[in-house]
Structure 1
Amino acid sequence: MERKVRKKKSRIRRFVKFLMMVVIAVFAYRSFITQGSNQISEIEYEDRFPSIPLSKEPDFTAFISSDQLYSSNGILIRFTDDAVLMEKNSEEKIYPASLTKMMTVLVAIENLPDLDEKIKITWSMFEGLYEANASMAGFQAGEEVRAIDLLYGVMLPSGAESCIALADYIAGSEENFVRLMNQKAKELGMTDTHFENTTGLHSENHYTTVKDLAVLLRNALKNAAFRDIFTTFCYSVPPTNKHPDGITFYSTMFERLGIQSIVDGEILGGKTGYTDEAGLCLASLAKVGEEEYILITTGAKGNHFSEQYHIADALTVYNSIGKK
């Protein structure tokens, strides 16, 4: 009897040990499968949805502070994608002075079928310009010059008589040509702009914003003829009936810039402007590294004879990009 009891207990112990081994084996198997599944899931997730690196786009506001500008209004954009990188009162109403002439040149190019067409300068084209102390390219009444020469006369020395000559030839009068300018502004989305003349001479109803001017310049630079003119330092008009030796124009911006350069780039072109009401103004294009940038500034104190604060602002902004 005692032997039977011992045998029964022995069988129970063996059965319990067997159950424990089974439980341990099942637990180990499930752990292995779960771990393997997690590894496979992680690998599949990484293959299907690779991680996207954070943008390396620099924060330009860290390098450029609008408080450093002498100009009361300014905007910096990247040419390729129109990204605004710095702005200061960019939507505030301002007077554009001779920055107006960028629109004059663009509209003239788009409405001239032949840039080599000869245009005759008349006395009427000078009416009121000398009295307003407008800048001149140097053409004379009775002179016959090509349209392309007038375009350079507008952009480089900021010649008011060149503006009027183009306007009269293309539209019959400056008034009619200004309608084309306002129409173009509307097409480009320059919603806070209105032109009264082709020259930028002051008028209360002749206004814009630096934001609108950036829109204008970015679109104008897509026109090859405009870009060529805008980025030219020096241009020689061939001999005419009034200038047998021709005339040589120099860009007012490059003259004021002198030999100054910017870090890791160059200023490619620009247009200056000034009236008492507008202050010193500048629209410029620069290449820094592999990118092109447009900077519009207006409202800097000073005049033609003072320190050129609009040029100083351009150097500050473009150098800030080059030093990033």
Structure 2
Amino acid sequence: MTFVIAAFVYKSIVTPGSQHIYEKGHDYKTSLYSSLKITPDSSGDRTTPVPPSKIESDHSASISFDKLNSSNAILIRLADDTVLMQKSSEEKIYPASLTKMMTAIVAIENLPDLKVKIKLTNSTFQGLYEADASMAGFQPGEQVRAIDLVYGVMLPSGAESCIGLADQIAGSEQNFVKIMNQKAADLGMDNTHFENTTGLQNENHYTTVKDMAILLSYALQNDTFREIFTSSRHSTQPTNKHLLGITFYNTMFEELNNQNIIGGEILGGKTGYTDEAGLCLASLAKVGKQEYILVSAGAKGDHRSEQYNITDALAVYNSIGK
């Protein structure tokens, strides 16, 4: 009996540091999905393995899972894409504005000239205000450099920037979403499907924090994406509607409010929120000589409450630095 129980417990634990998000230099479909042991639940469905009770790292630091506000999370050491911690990382979530990381990297990779000017039309804004989408502050008829639109996507989470880029690259948001889904398939994001570029709530627009980690690990290899992702602010060039340009501020850095982490710093991030998704965050931090990415979702609260996604990130990264 003791042996059977011990064997069951062993199979139910994900050993920290033993999984890899994917092998660099290989097809991205050789992802962490193929390397993790998946155990069936009583109904036969695939479920995420029971995680360890502690978050552990190569710095021998830990934090109890029950202290996390987020229902889903994954921590990865970026150098070798080793999964150090995960909590319900393969459970279906709604990504909210974390979607815009895919919008940004697809735009960057499909625009040969990021200095080209793109005209935003009235149709660009159609339905966005009614949906209470977050906006960067551009106006109909404004002519904006593509690179400024990408900053508008990532820092203030501007929905009109997403639509403007999609229309320019693919002719419509629907066509651009097809490119997003193809990119997700190419990267091995097997539990992801996009319906829009903005992350506005849609039952068929879903992912997992593990898939978002695959995306972020890949995107950070692009110098332009990394520069944008790690920027705390950006001022656009003057336009025909904003003669002095617009200055954007990264929503994550605003919520951090100059808080730092032990033995390092949070380098960049992308926040997200809808009622259905909860508070979400994808972030990059450097602790000691190592870089880490943390993707979390499902934290309680809203824009007016304490930002529990930020609270979780500080707790996890601080546990590494102790």
- Give the equivalent residue in structure 2 for 1:73: 72
CA distance in 2, matches of 1:213, 1:280: 15
1:133 paired to 2:113:
no
- 1:193 corresponds to which letter in structure 2? T
Q: Secondary structure at the match of 1:213?
A: helix
TM-score by length of 2: 0.82
Q: How does 1:219-230 map to 2 (within 5 A)?
A: 219-230=218-229
- C-alpha displacement of 1:140: 0.4
CA distance in 2, matches of 1:293, 1:117: 34
- Give the equivalent residue in structure 2 for 1:302: 301
- Give the equivalent residue in structure 1 for 2:256: 257
Is the contact made by 2:57 and 2:320 (CA closer than 8 Å) also made in structure 1? Answer: no
- Give the equivalent residue in structure 2 for 1:164: 163
List structure 1 runs of 4+ shifted beyond 3 angstroms: 57-62
Structure 1 residues 260-281: Cα deviation after superposition (integer angstroms, max 9, x where no partner): 0000000000000000000000
CA distance in 2, matches of 1:65, 1:219: 29
- Give the equivalent residue in structure 1 for 2:316: 317
Q: How does 1:179-194 map to 2 (within 5 A)?
A: 179-194=178-193
Q: Tell me, which stretches of 5 or more residues in structure 2 are unaligned?
A: 1-55
Is the contact made by 2:75 and 2:295 (CA closer than 8 Å) also made in structure 1? Answer: yes
- 1:267 corresponds to which letter in structure 2? I
CA distance in 2, matches of 1:172, 1:143: 18
- 1:215 corresponds to which letter in structure 2? I
- C-alpha displacement of 1:65: 2.6
- Give the equivalent residue in structure 1 for 2:288: 289
Q: How does 1:35-74 map to 2 (within 5 A)?
A: 63-74=62-73
Greater share of helix: 1
- Give the equivalent residue in structure 2 for 1:209: 208
TM-score by length of 1: 0.81
Is the contact made by 2:61 and 2:319 (CA closer than 8 Å) also made in structure 1? Answer: no
CA distance in 2, matches of 1:174, 1:276: 23
- 2:141 corresponds to which letter in structure 1? G
Structure 1 residues 236-277: Cα deviation after superposition (integer angstroms, max 9, x where no partner): 011110001110000000000011000000000000000000
- C-alpha displacement of 1:64: 2.7
- 1:146 corresponds to which letter in structure 2? R
Q: How does 1:146-157 map to 2 (within 5 A)?
A: 146-157=145-156
- 2:253 corresponds to which letter in structure 1? F
- 2:84 corresponds to which letter in structure 1? L
Q: Percent identity?
A: 74
Is the contact made by 1:60 and 1:85 (CA closer than 8 Å) also made in structure 2? Answer: no
Structure 1 residues 299-323: Cα deviation after superposition (integer angstroms, max 9, x where no partner): 0000011001000000000000000
Is the contact made by 2:107 and 2:169 (CA closer than 8 Å) also made in structure 1? Answer: yes
- C-alpha displacement of 1:62: 5.5
Is the contact made by 1:60 and 1:86 (CA closer than 8 Å) also made in structure 2? Answer: no
Change (3 A) 1:245 1:207: same
- C-alpha displacement of 1:206: 0.2
Is the contact made by 1:121 and 1:141 (CA closer than 8 Å) also made in structure 2? Answer: yes
Is the contact made by 2:60 and 2:320 (CA closer than 8 Å) also made in structure 1? Answer: no
- C-alpha displacement of 1:68: 1.5
Q: Tell me, which stretches of 5 or more residues in structure 1 are unaligned?
A: 1-56
CA distance in 2, matches of 1:58, 1:70: 20
CA distance in 2, matches of 1:243, 1:220: 30
Change (3 A) 1:186 1:60: farther
Is the contact made by 1:61 and 1:85 (CA closer than 8 Å) also made in structure 2? Answer: no
Is the contact made by 1:202 and 1:277 (CA closer than 8 Å) also made in structure 2? Answer: yes
Larger radius of gyration: 1
Is the contact made by 1:100 and 1:198 (CA closer than 8 Å) also made in structure 2? Answer: yes
- Give the equivalent residue in structure 2 for 1:176: 175
The size of the alignment, in residue pairs, is 267
- C-alpha displacement of 1:61: 7.7
CA distance in 1, matches of 2:109, 2:244: 30
- Give the equivalent residue in structure 2 for 1:98: 97
- C-alpha displacement of 1:59: 5.9
Is the contact made by 2:59 and 2:321 (CA closer than 8 Å) also made in structure 1? Answer: no
Q: Secondary structure at the match of 1:314?
A: helix
CA distance in 1, matches of 2:311, 2:57: 23
- Give the equivalent residue in structure 1 for 2:13: none
CA distance in 2, matches of 1:239, 1:142: 14
CA distance in 2, matches of 1:243, 1:300: 36
Is the contact made by 1:101 and 1:155 (CA closer than 8 Å) also made in structure 2? Answer: yes
Is the contact made by 1:121 and 1:143 (CA closer than 8 Å) also made in structure 2? Answer: yes
Is the contact made by 1:164 and 1:174 (CA closer than 8 Å) also made in structure 2? Answer: yes
